[in-house]
Amino acid sequence: MMSSAKRDHYLALTIRTIAILLFLLLWYLAVKLEWIDSMFLASPLDTLQHLIPVTRKAAPDLYATLTSFSVAFVTGVLFALLVGFVLSISDYNRKVFVPLLVLGVTIPKVTLMPLFILWFGIEQLPIIVFGALSAFFPMVVNVLSATGEVKPNQILLAKAMGFSRLQIYRKVIFPAMLPVLISGLFYACNAAMMGVFIVELALARHGLGAFVHDLAMTFRTADMYAAVVLTASITVFINMALWYGARYFGRWRV
Amino acid sequence: MHRVPPALTRLALILALLAVWELATRLTSVNVILIAPPSIVLWEIVRVFAGLSVPDFYLNAGITLAEIAVAYAIAAVFGVLMGIAVASSKVIGDAFEPILLVLYAIPKIILYPVIVLMIGTGYASKISFGILVGIFVIIFNTAAGLRQVEPNYVRLAHSLGYGKGKIFFKVELPAAAQTILSGLRLGFGYTIIGVITGELLVVNVGLGFLIDWASVNYHTAQLYAVVLITLAIGVVANLVVSRLERRWVR
């Protein structure tokens, strides 16, 4: 006799599998029965068949996107750490700057894209700058709230117990901040990817965004769906890598 | 120094930045196509509102705002309903949440070419993209809010003889309101970003069209003016929604 928790788990798994299969079937039928013209929608089988050749063809663009993304992500995050820690030194600074930085997260920064193209040209630079800016704001807001997580009493206690300055940083301050910093990294990662793809699509010269754009423009529909699936898988993979990385580095906390 | 209110310091900083920007463009030989001084941009904003600067400003702004309103209405209603569905039973939550999380992790922007290919370049594609960008945070916050409702409240209401519907509307929903409302606020910001991104990538009407028009024709002052107006719409919309959120939570 299965426990009810286990039964629920399998039930959920079954429902999920059926839902995904239903979606694929609907997708297949939409093309097969011509609900949607095959010029605009490729069937799941065609998409799958095109996946390997498209991946091979996309290799240089994939490389361009990954380099733009990595540079943008790392720059944005490092800059956010720097600015965040400098601003967190005094409570007054925090009060002055936090509303501005929060605004930086919520406003539609994408409107600045034409200006960035004006300033930084049409090669990889505007892609990187926009990606870095997209990563910067959510990260810096999280850095500032992470520094707020450190309780003054804990530092006092650590001092009373004779911890050195370095030890306080390593054993008290850093562990307290880590969860918020990690969630900031996730936001920053996704924002950077979004930023990179937006400018790539708009410029249509470098990277996967440009690759997808070209395929859409020339109505190579199956190739395009394959490229979208490829891009989506890569972003999911990056997210999972970040997740496992965060768990690996956070394992001592428990 | 610490007696100065933070808001005042913030204002002073912004003004100082504008002054530096103005002086830098006036005193150095930076190309006027690249950077317009704030005084000229400000004058251009006045002219935009007077209808003298860019083609059909009110029509285009109206279109963008209407797209945002429609997209947000749909995202809010369906987001909350889907959140309720996901939180309604553990099995349904376990079945669909992994799918939603994977979809959430994909930068929606790569689906935009697919949307445009399938439903065309008109309003519908921008609205759909706005919904797609905005809806996930609403779903997740609604589900999270409902899940963190203290089970004792529900038990108490049950023992007081409340029916299922009454428990939901009188106990669970109010208890989850704060998290749901903050999801609705974030979702609103994302929807705006989605619609404007859509307009900028497939240009035909709206504020996105005006930005593109100004940038393609190198009308730099107009470009800065329309960009600032669009950003200001985002800022004002966010302020209004946070205000509403704070009022409702109380």
CB contact under 8 A, B114 and A9: no
In this complex, do B99 and A8 lie within 8 Å of one another by their Cβ atoms? no
CA A252 to chain centre: 25
Q: Which residues of B touch A111 (CB under 8 A)?
A: 196, 200, 207, 211, 227, 230-231
The mean pLDDT value for A16-33 works out to 88
Rg of chain A over Cα atoms, rounded to whole angstroms, equals 23
Query: Do A112 and B110 make contact, defined as CB atoms within 8 angstroms?
Result: no
Residues A155-176: pLDDT tens digits?
Answer: 888 888 888 878 887 778 888 8
CB pairs under 8 A between A and B: 142
Phi, psi (rounded to 5 degrees) for A175: -60, -35
- Identify the residue whose tokens are 């944005």: A76
- Residue A254 clears pLDDT 50, i.e. is over it: no
Q: Find tokens 């690759």 and name the residue.
A: A211
pLDDT at residue A39, rounded to an integer: 76
Among the ranges A15-19, A198-202, B73-77, which has the highest mean pLDDT value? B73-77
The pTM for the full model equals 0.86
Residue of A nearest to B185 (CA): A106
Query: Could you read off the pLDDT of B150-161 as tens digits, one per residue?
Result: 888 888 888 888
Residue holding tokens 């619609």? B195
The distance from CA A248 to its chain's CA centroid, rounded to whole angstroms, is: 19
Three-point CA angle A132, B182, A78, nearest 5°: 20
Q: What residues of chain A, 98 to 127, have a C-beta less than 8 Å from chain B?
A: 99-100, 103, 106-115, 117-119
Residue B187: burial class (beta carbons within 10 Å; 0-12, 13-18, 19+): buried
Continuous segment of H or E residues that includes residue B60? helix B57-88
Interface test with B, best of A4, A111, A112, A212 (most B CBs within 10 A): A111
Q: What is the second-level CATH architecture of the domain B59-249?
A: Orthogonal Bundle (1.10)
Both tokens of A46, joined, read 């065609």
For chain B, the structural domain boundaries read 59-249
For residue B200, give the nearest of A9, A110, A197 by CB distance.
Answer: A110
User: With a cut of 0.85, is the ipTM above it?
Assistant: no
Give the nearest chain A residue to B90 (CA atoms): A8
